[in-house]
Chain A
Amino acid sequence: MKSKSKHLNDDEILWTLVESKDHNKDQEKHLMGCKLCHEKQTSINNELNQLGTLARQYAPKPRRSLRPVLITQNVNTSYRQMKKTFVYVVMFIICIGGVFGMWPSQTQKIDSIVMEQAKTKIDSLINPYIEDSFQIDNYSILPNVFKYIIVDDYNNSEDSFYDYFLQMEDTVIEVNLDINEQTKFQNIKLFRSKMLS
Chain B
Amino acid sequence: MNQITGWVEQAQIGNRFALNQLIDHFQNDIFRMVYYRIHNQADAEDVTQDIFIQVIKKIKTLKDRSRFKPWLYRIAINRIRDFFRKKRLLFFMGSNSDIEADNSLDNYITTSTEKDIFRKELKQLLKTLSKDLSKWEREVFLLRYIDDMDVKEIAITLKKNENTVKTHLYRSIKKFQKHHQLREFIKRGEHEI
Name the residue of chain A whose CB is nearest to the CB of B146.
Answer: A55
Report the separation of the CA atoms of residues A67 and B174 in the bound assembly, to the nearest whole angstrom. Answer: 38
Name the residue of chain A whose CB is nearest to the CB of B33.
Answer: A59
Report the separation of the CA atoms of residues A119 and B27 in the bound assembly, to the nearest whole angstrom. Answer: 78
Interface string of B40-54 (1 = CB under 8 A from A): 010011001100110
Grouping DSSP codes into helix (H, G, I), strand (E, B) and loop, the B interface class, with mixed when no group exceeds half, is helix
16 further contact pairs, Cβ within 8 A, besides A44-B177, A51-B145: A11-B174, A18-B151, A18-B170, A54-B193, A55-B32, A55-B36, A55-B122, A58-B115, A59-B31, A59-B32, A59-B36, A62-B41, A64-B45, A66-B23, A66-B27, A66-B45
Report the separation of the CA atoms of residues A19 and B169 in the bound assembly, to the nearest whole angstrom. Answer: 10
CB distance from A33 to the nearest CB of B (A): 24
Report the separation of the CA atoms of residues A51 and B170 in the bound assembly, to the nearest whole angstrom. Answer: 16
* A70 interface hit (Cβ, 8 Å): yes
Q: Given A50-B190, A66-B23, A68-B56: A58 and B148 within 8 A (CB)?
A: no
Q: Given A18-B166, A54-B193: A67 and B186 within 8 A (CB)?
A: no
Interface string of A48-81 (1 = CB under 8 A from B): 1111111111111111101110100000000000
Contact in complex: B145, A52 (CB < 8 Å)? yes
Q: Given A18-B173, A50-B190, A51-B146: A59 and B24 within 8 A (CB)?
A: no
Interface string of A7-32 (1 = CB under 8 A from B): 00001001101111000000000000
Interface string of B46-81 (1 = CB under 8 A from A): 001100110010000000000000000000000000
Q: Please tell me the size bucket of the interface on B.
A: 35 or more
* A174 interface hit (Cβ, 8 Å): no
Contact in complex: B186, A51 (CB < 8 Å)? yes
Contact in complex: B119, A58 (CB < 8 Å)? yes
Report the separation of the CA atoms of residues A50 and B122 in the bound assembly, to the nearest whole angstrom. Answer: 12
Contact in complex: A67, B193 (CB < 8 Å)? no
Contact in complex: A44, B173 (CB < 8 Å)? yes
